Structure 1
């Protein structure tokens, strides 16, 4: 079974983004990163996928909106991240 697509929207020099990517890297998770520092269509896409989201990172596992770095770390601490990635 393959891992669902993981997408992370980031901005340049974002410490929370770096922390989220570090966790994903440590877990060996492949992800697609979109830098929305300058706005543009990917920023609009992020906001359409996560209405009301104004901060980064915004992380998606498949169609599931995880939220930001803190939410990702919380899922990991609770043992819920691996099952989500295994769907």
Structure 2
């Protein structure tokens, strides 16, 4: 099974939606909440070029945010994880 890692803010609706998608598919994930952690946010931005949460990695490959996860879900690629 693929390893899914989320970096989220606790109050972010897109983060909540990403977790709902994964939960609905019964895909396990690890979550790191980065509320107020400016250093971690900068590191993730430098690594990904994305400035918004959630940051979603599958098998250590950055796939994007919630909209990217929704695209994978609609194309049924999440079913292969």
The unaligned stretches of length 5 or more in structure 1 are: none
Task: Return the structure number with greater helix share.
Answer: 2
When the two structures are superposed, what TM-score results if normalisation uses the length of structure 1?
A: 0.80
**Aligned counterpart for 1:69 among listed residues 66, 71, 77:** 66
When the two structures are superposed, what TM-score results if normalisation uses the length of structure 2?
A: 0.85
Aligned positions, number = 81
Give the RMSD, CA atoms, in angstroms.
1.6
The unaligned stretches of length 5 or more in structure 2 are: none
- Alignment-derived partner of residue 59 in structure 1: 56
Whole-angstrom CA distance in 2 between matches of 1:64 and 1:4: 11
